Amino acid sequence: MVTIIGGGIAGTILGGALARRGDQVTLFERQSRNATGGAFLFIDERGHSVLHDLGVDDDVVNEASYPVSALEYVGSNGRRAAMSRGHRFWLRSSLMKVLNDFVDISGADLRYDCGITDVTVDEPGRCRIQHSDGSSSTTDDIVIAADGIDSVVRARLEPDRNPVYAGDVVLYGMTSTPTELDTEPQTLHFFAELDATGAAASTFGHIWRPGHTAHWFIRIARAPLDGPDDFGVRPTSEWTDTVLQATPSINDLVSTLLDRTDSVHVSNARNVPLDAAAQPTLPVLLIGDADHAITPAAGVGAREALEDAHAVYRALTTGSCPAEAMALRRSEIIDDRQRAVRGRASVSR
């Protein structure tokens, strides 16, 4: 038996996969069944292989997303790099619909609108779960905490391991009408505006395809936002001057997208550091953003969440230790991130 806290990407795919093979799964999610949130994301072939292996139909995936032909990185110094790793473009709402449909027919006990405010280990192997309505329950199950970057469970298990500002404010935008640009369609374009030291003062990304709206994002290196009215969906006009000032080398392209975008989603980029993380131990495990959230500018958070779920699923279904599986996952994640940093540095040099 498994109790999962959090119905985002990691919790939903894990709960659905386990329940579909006959395991007893209870999943708690504080939001409603139809809550989606988020903007858009890109998942590479590694992430899609997890969806396939855990039972999500390939045709459903292909219908809900579309392939990205290449990822192109350009620096304001003129240096270019390109790659393709089987990426597909997803609206986060489309991905969550696919995963929610997957878990809906799995046989899992789904408890939406049911927040968790605390989890404690009363005795070896037995957990007490405090619910947002004031009630509590106990379980002998393994508890998988997939409750996001502001994880209640991580705050209990590791109170000193808090999210930290990653140095960037991130904006997501989508044009209100179909938009065609001079850049290659279905290619994810990244443009790094480099400062005098060669570091990226901003990175602007965009993608479009004929007959559809264009999507774009920017990360801007600056002090964090701190006002309650700064975050979430904001009028584009509040950010137009800032975005243009951050992208002087590509103002024509950026202006076109800004002019056709009514609102933007704004957030502080945050990471949950792994360097001081406690060793994963049962009966409570952290996975996904609850354990190792990374700025959305890195573009790997969804894949990391899927691969966490896959690793825990394999451990639980083969009789191996899921805590050891998550310890190995952390090592893999650190190695992946170090390679990505080296790759970005090669573009800016």
Instruction: Give the ranges where 36-148 is alpha helix by DSSP (H).
Output: 45-53, 58-64, 92-104
Cα dihedral 214, 216, 13, 8 sign: negative
Query: Which residues are bridge partners to 263 per DSSP?
Result: 235
- Cα separation, 64 vs 36, in Å, equals 14
Is 229:272 a contact under the CB 8 Å cutoff? no
DSSP helix/strand/coil, 4: strand
For 122-139, the pLDDT digits (tens) are 877 899 999 999 999 999
CA distance 295 to 165: 9
| pLDDT-above-90 percentage for the chain | 81
CA dist., res. 341 & res. 282, Å (int): 32
pTM: 0.93
What pLDDT digit, counting tens, does each position of 14-32 carry?
999 999 999 999 999 999 8
Number of helices and strands in the chain (H, E): 10, 19
CB 287 within 8 A of CB 323: no
pLDDT for the residue numbered 349 = 52
Mean local confidence (pLDDT), 203-216: 97
Count of residues in the chain: 349
Residue type, 288: G
Cα–Cα distance, 132 to 146 (Å, whole number): 17
